[in-house]
Amino acid sequence: MPLGNSLMVAQVISSAVPRGDTSVQLISGLLLLGGLGFALCFGALFLGWLIRPRRHNMEKDAIYECGEPTIGSSWVQFDLRFYVVALVFIVFDVEIALFWPWAVVYGGAGVDAADLLSVKTLALFDMLFFFGVIVVGFLYLWRFGYLDWVRSTVSQQRRVPGASLAAATGEAKG
Amino acid sequence: MIVEWVQGQAQLVFSCLLALVVVGVMLLGVAYSILAERWIAAWVQDRRGPNRAGFFRLFGSFHFWGLGQPIADGGKFFLKEDIIPDNVDKPLFILGPATIFIVALVGFAVIPWGGQVQIGDALLNVQVANPDIGLLYVLGVGSLGVYGVVLGGYASNNKYSFFGGIRATAQMLSYEIPMGLAILVVVLATGQLRLEEIVLSQMGDGDVWNVVRHPLACFLLVVTLFAETSRTPFDMPEAEQELVGGFHTEYSSMKFALFFLAEYAHMITGSAFLMVLFFGGWHIPFVPGLQPGDTAWWAMLLKMLVMAGKIALMMVFYIWVRWTLPRLRFDQLMRLAWKGLVPLGLGLIAFALGMLYIGKPQAWVWTLVGNVVILATMLGITALIPSRVTGRQYDMPELPPRTSAPASIGGP
């Protein structure tokens, strides 16, 4: 059978499959796989708990930090740069998430883009504006050094009016 | 109405059976991909891998090339003592590996394994579920895995674990963005979120696999998959030489095994996802039995076999890369994500939008030309940016000028 025919058959077939039941399928699949994972995970832990030895001692129950006695808790304040990464991630992820439904609707809307004033063109320019906002935000982050993992004081001094890059490095040298 | 309802139920029963089979095969595959990893590692490093654990010496001194090793390992995971240190946050300590393991299994729900099959009167999807939002589901479930790592790292109350968990979070979050962008290119081109439809869009007259249409997006997805599964060269969360074992330093016996299994399960899901998006899923051009019109049961088995073979190839690639490339430093890792992959992804999106507007999103000759142009532009811009010593602050004194004679290793 030539490929074109088989594709047409496939399209006919995929339109013949009832689509109303997919959410039931998804939920049942999710529950089944999740339940299976839950059972396997806690079943294995429980089975092991029944048969494995338990011999506690103080040394064994201590936190392993290369044999040195532990100093303090590890739940301490951590570097602020991780916070910036999380913040930038949220902004970007939400923006990309808004892109997805648009991509599906626009991509499925057919291919006649001749008329400049059609809804399709307007939708494209809407999305380009949105995309531009993402890019400008990204360039802002880049310009002011939020994407640099190793930060220096220079990028902060750059923002102070009158302080040039050369002056900043000169100060650091002196 | 009734016929449709019955058809839906047949699909449901079939889906449940398929889920059981897939999970069974997947767990076996995970166990043996760990063995494969050790074999390939031994081969790369020119030494002998695990080759002793056979089956009770039933066959004299013949050991079956060490094929009993995963079973022996599994037995050990059950029998070894499970240490929960004194100062950990106990509920979260158990919840960490449980979360990552369950989430790794749930991701399989929407992967299309073998097109459609005719059983009796009913045409069934060889897929646990075929929702409209298949791609979003994979992405959402995939990024839930970060919770397991964070919980494990946080609950251990160990500095190594904590830093491993924090690093893992930053890394996975950073690589989510280029991953989303790479997938968005495919979504823009096909206008579909259903994985089965994306597979179907790669076959037929004049259609080619998406890897030919969007090679850069494919590259982007491969790189981010390595980062999302924390494989070398992106295995910062568990960098042994720096962080002992990273987020699983404090874990022993079965809880460690859950982390380990989940890592490999994530790799398998990621490989399946990559194959569906860019390598035609179960399809091979011109091979009878692997075309969308073939719905006999043997065709379904053949398709599943092809899919499994493709996934196995990708797993070998994962392992090959692990034993070839050194680990990146953390600042290099973040720079690659934010200053390399995200701009590349944004460029690809812009190009895909343009192709979509002129109504030829899938014309592979033109997308190929566009990809080459984008790559050349990126490389050109990279060449124009002056290189500087990474990891070094701007305001430090200048380095001494480089002499023509090779400096001693380590430098001044």
- Residue with the larger pLDDT of the pair B246 and B376: B376
Chain A residues whose CB is inside 8 A of the B150 CB are none
Given this model, what pLDDT does residue B223 score? 93
Q: Specify which of A67-76, A115-124, B9-18, B75-84 reaches the highest per-range mean pLDDT.
A: B75-84
Q: Is residue B36 part of a domain?
A: no
Confidence of residue B317 (pLDDT cuts 50, 70, 90): very high
Residue in this structure with the two tokens 């991953």, named with its chain if needed? B179
Closest CA to B266 of B75, B94, B174, B138: B138
- Average pLDDT, integer, range A54-72: 76
Euclidean distance between CA atoms B237 and B167, whole angstroms: 6
Q: Is residue B163 part of a domain?
A: yes
Given this model, what pLDDT does residue B411 score? 44
Chain B residues whose CB is inside 8 A of the A59 CB are none
Chain B residues whose CB is inside 8 A of the A144 CB are none
Chain B residues whose CB is inside 8 A of the A32 CB are 15-16, 19, 128
Sign (positive/negative) of CA torsion A120, A122, A123, A124? positive
Given this model, what pLDDT does residue A11 score? 45
Expressed as residue numbers, the domain containing B149 is 81-380
Q: Is residue B14 part of a domain?
A: no
User: Looking at this predicted complex, what is its ipTM?
Assistant: 0.74
Given this model, what pLDDT does residue B24 score? 87
Partner residue opposite B190 with nearest CB, options A3, A24, A107: A107
CB B268 within 8 A of CB B30: yes
Q: Is residue B137 part of a domain?
A: yes
Q: Inter-chain contact A86–B169, Cβ cutoff 8 Å?
A: yes
Chain B residue whose CA is closest to A146: B338
B-interface mutation test, from A149, A155, A164, A171, most B Cβ less than 10 A away: A149
- Average pLDDT, integer, range A11-32: 60
Sign (positive/negative) of CA torsion B321, B324, B325, B326? positive
Cis peptide before B233 (omega within 30 of 0): yes
Give the gap in angstroms from C-alpha A169 to the nearest C-alpha of chain B: 5
pLDDT higher than 50, residue A163: no
- Residue with the larger pLDDT of the pair B106 and B220: B220
Q: Inter-chain contact B177–A131, Cβ cutoff 8 Å?
A: no
Closest CA to B228 of B268, B255, B199, B279: B268
- Average pLDDT, integer, range B102-115: 84
Q: Is residue B388 part of a domain?
A: no
Chain B residue whose CA is closest to A91: B177
pLDDT higher than 60, residue B47: yes
- Average pLDDT, integer, range A82-87: 84
Chain B residues whose CB is inside 8 A of the A174 CB are none
Q: Is residue B156 part of a domain?
A: yes
Q: Is residue B229 part of a domain?
A: yes
Chain A residues whose CB is inside 8 A of the B77 CB are 44, 48
Q: Is residue B47 part of a domain?
A: no
Euclidean distance between CA atoms A90 and B9, whole angstroms: 40
Euclidean distance between CA atoms B355 and B143, whole angstroms: 30
Closest CA to B284 of B314, B312, B268, B307: B307
Q: Inter-chain contact B395–A111, Cβ cutoff 8 Å?
A: no
Given this model, what pLDDT does residue B396 score? 63
Say if strands B122-125 and B116-119 run parallel, antiparallel, or are unpaired. Answer: antiparallel
pLDDT, tens only, A112-143: 545 545 677 777 888 888 888 888 988 888 88
Half-sphere exposure of B78 (CA within 13 A, CB side): 15
pTM (2 decimals)?
A: 0.83
- Average pLDDT, integer, range B383-402: 64
Half-sphere exposure of A139 (CA within 13 A, CB side): 6
- Average pLDDT, integer, range A62-67: 74
Euclidean distance between CA atoms B230 and B91, whole angstroms: 25
- Residue with the larger pLDDT of the pair B185 and A174: B185
Question: Hey, which residues does B125 pair with through a beta bridge?
Answer: B116
Total domains present in chain B: 1
Partner residue opposite A21 with nearest CB, options B11, B196, B397: B11
